[in-house]
Structures are given as structure tokens and as C-alpha cells.
Amino acid sequence: MRSVSSHLAPRRFRDALSRLWHQSEGAAAVEFAFLAPLLLLMLLGTIEVGRAVNINRHFSQATATASDLVAREEWLGTSSNAATTNLNSMMQSIRHIMEPFNTTDLKLGIFSVRASSTDANDTKVEWAYSYNGKSVPAKCQAYALPSGLIGKGGSAIVVESSYVFKPLFADFVPGITGDMTWTERSIHSPRNSCVDYVKGDNCSSLNCS
């Protein structure tokens, strides 16, 4: 009887070792432990890219809408203060376009550019308005428009904008840097010959002497 037990012991050990070798219940957990960080990074990256695309779409729409709203006007106010007040009200509409995203980092520069009556390429700023600290060119400063956009004596409403995009997961996802500043420009033709900042002001003439 003792010899039979001695003979079966190695076989039982081999069987147990074989069962252990083919055991796969914990393999998925081990594999997931290796893949989980990568899957998490992919998820965070997808969320961040989708968020950036969505915000950028709102930003582009806000810029285009700002120039379109101003280009519809014949004049912005009966005084400089009234014109500024009206433009400030328009900017509230632009802020609504950006919602639900942060609007504190949205900056807009709105200005009218007119070509000389003798040279369509000689274009200068008629008036300028800054929202949220955006730098704008001074009155009568030369400003280049795309060639052929307006003719002699023509004018255009230009909006230059910037927005600071702040990623949520910049510290976790490789390849996603810190804050990024986006810029846009939109140009619209006035519905009338031009847009007066103050009624009866610049559309009659542009005195840059």
C-alpha cells in the first residue's frame, strides 16, 4: 500500500500543477490592471478633445455673430457714450452664445475699416471698440484687408477675437499642454454704405489729416 502512494504522489503533483497552469480566472484582472491606465488616458483625452471642439465652435460663432450684428446697423448711437452702451449690450448677446462655457477669457475688438476713394488698397480704421481688454488699432491707422474684398470708398466691419482655452486634464494626459489662446477674425460688409459710430459722423468723411 505504501508503494502505491509513493507512485501516485508525483502524478497528483503534476495534475495539480497542470490545473494551476491552465487556470485563467485571474488573467482578465491582471490584463485590466495593465490596460486600465491607458484606457483612462484615452477616455480623458477624448473628453478633452470633444470639449475643445465644442468650445471652439461657440467661439467661432460668437466672433461671426458680433461682426454681423454691427454690420446691420446704420449708426450705433447719437453720441459716443450711447454708441458704447449699445455695443456693450450687443456683447451680452455674444456672451450668451459662449454659454455654458467660461466667457471671462473672451476678448473682442470691433472696428470699421474704409478704403480710400481713390485706392481700394489704402484702407484705414474709422473707429474701434474694445471688449474685455482686447487691443484694437487706433483711428486712421492703416489696416490691411484681403485683396479685392472692398472697392474704392468701401468699408467693412472687422472683428478680431481671442479666447483662452483651459484644458481640464492637462496635468494628466500627455500631449495636452496648458492654456491655449485661440484667435479668430470675421469680416462683414455693412448693410448700408458704412456704419457710423455716432450718427452722421464717419460715414460722411474720414478725416485723417
The grid coordinates listed for 136 are 484694437
Give residue-wise pLDDT tens across range 75-132.
999 999 999 999 999 999 999 999 899 899 999 999 999 998 889 999 999 999 999 9
Give residue-wise pLDDT tens across range 96-110.
999 899 899 999 999
- 44: buried, middle or exposed (CB in 10 Å: 19+, 13-18, 0-12)? middle
- 50: buried, middle or exposed (CB in 10 Å: 19+, 13-18, 0-12)? exposed
Give residue-wise pLDDT tens across range 56-81.
999 999 999 999 999 999 999 999 99
**What is the spatial distance between Cα 27 and Cα 13, in angstroms, rounded to a whole number?**
23
